[in-house]
């Protein structure tokens, strides 16, 4: 089959006329946007803010950094709460949740923690000031020492004038001092820990076979007197024995060993008291099981 080319109109040589106008328009637009980009200033922070708002607006999952390690719901459970960890490309552990009110995903401002810490330290300093005013005479005589350590107030009873060497019976001359200590402790809040300390000189008598027994006996004697005669509520008191495990100074001289022989009355805050009670209850439950 043959085609007759004589009936086809001849095409004009070259591109159509509108192509030149279109090319000019595209060139002008490209130059315009290049100039805009050249004159603009990139604000990285603002760009990140805009990108973040857009990601939340369109439902992209946001990430909240946790300040604490996720805690398991039980010893056996291998999953965290509130959600199950899912595999990720990177070697990280993440949790997903649709509820932003979950406690495990909340974070606290460092400023609020600092304010709470400052308030607690101010409270401790105020307690130390009250005790120092009540026991000023005994502190000046060197029978007592009042110091602050972190969130605790420590009243140190020196062995001199309080207990006989190697004994746990209170000297009669020290009884008025214990009365003043009991009165002062009733005026401040907090949990009271009475801890006994000794030097590293070994003791082996029928009554005190070791420094552990001696330190515990001295702490128990102080607690017994404060509850029986000083009027301090028994539920505020706790006994600890440290023997020679926590010396204030090296046991290399007579004066240093005298510093280490002491009974410390520690006034702790209510938070520490709750922790101690929880530990005691947990130990009792474990022993019962």
For residue 208, pLDDT beyond 90: yes
Most confident range, picked from 54-58, 116-120, 209-213: 209-213
Q: What share of the chain is helix, strand, coil (3-state, %, to 5)?
A: 45, 10, 40
C-alpha to C-alpha distance for 130 and 172, rounded to whole angstroms: 26
Q: What is the pLDDT of residues 79-122, one digit of tens each?
A: 444 555 555 555 555 555 555 555 444 444 445 556 666 767 77
Locate tokens 């050249």: which residue? 38
Give the chain's radius of gyration (CA, Å): 39
Strands (E), 208-261: 237-243
Domains, the chain, in order of start with CATH, read: 119-288 (3.30.1330.60)
- In 10 A of CB 123, how many CB atoms? 16
Q: What is the pLDDT of residues 175-184, one digit of tens each?
A: 998 999 999 8
Mean pLDDT over residues 27-48, rounded?
81
Q: Are 273 and 237 in contact (CB under 8 A)?
A: no
Give the global pTM. Answer: 0.56
């Amino acid at each position: 089959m043959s085609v007759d080319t004589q009936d086809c109109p001849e095409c004009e040589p070259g591109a159509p006329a509108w192509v030149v106008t279109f090319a000019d328009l595209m060139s002008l637009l490209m130059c315009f946007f290049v100039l805009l980009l050249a004159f603009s200033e990139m604000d990285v922070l603002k760009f990140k803010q805009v990108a973040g708002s857009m990601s939340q607006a369109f439902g992209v999952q946001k990430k909240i950094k946790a300040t604490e390690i996720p805690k398991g719901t039980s010893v056996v459970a291998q999953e965290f709460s509130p959600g199950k960890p899912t595999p990720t490309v990177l070697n990280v552990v993440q949790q997903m949740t649709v509820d932003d009110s979950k406690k495990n995903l909340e974070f606290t401002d460092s400023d609020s923690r600092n304010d709470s810490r400052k308030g607690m330290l101010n409270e401790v300093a105020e307690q130390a000031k009250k005790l120092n005013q009540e026991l000023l005479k005994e502190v000046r005589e060197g029978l007592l020492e009042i110091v602050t350590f972190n969130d605790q107030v420590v009243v140190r009873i020196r062995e001199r004038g309080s207990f006989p060497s190697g004994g746990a019976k209170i000297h009669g001359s020290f009884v008025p001092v214990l009365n003043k200590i009991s009165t002062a402790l009733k005026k401040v809040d907090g949990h009271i820990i009475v801890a006994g300390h000794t030097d590293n000189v070994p003791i082996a008598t029928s009554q005190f076979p070791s420094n552990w027994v001696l330190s515990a006996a001295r702490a128990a004697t102080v607690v017994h007197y404060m509850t029986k005669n000083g009027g301090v509520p028994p539920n505020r008191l706790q006994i600890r024995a440290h023997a020679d495990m926590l010396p204030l100074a090296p046991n290399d001289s007579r004066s240093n060993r005298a510093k280490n022989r002491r009974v410390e009355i520690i006034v702790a805050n209510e938070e520490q008291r709750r922790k101690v009670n929880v530990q005691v209850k947990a130990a009792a439950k474990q022993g019962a099981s």
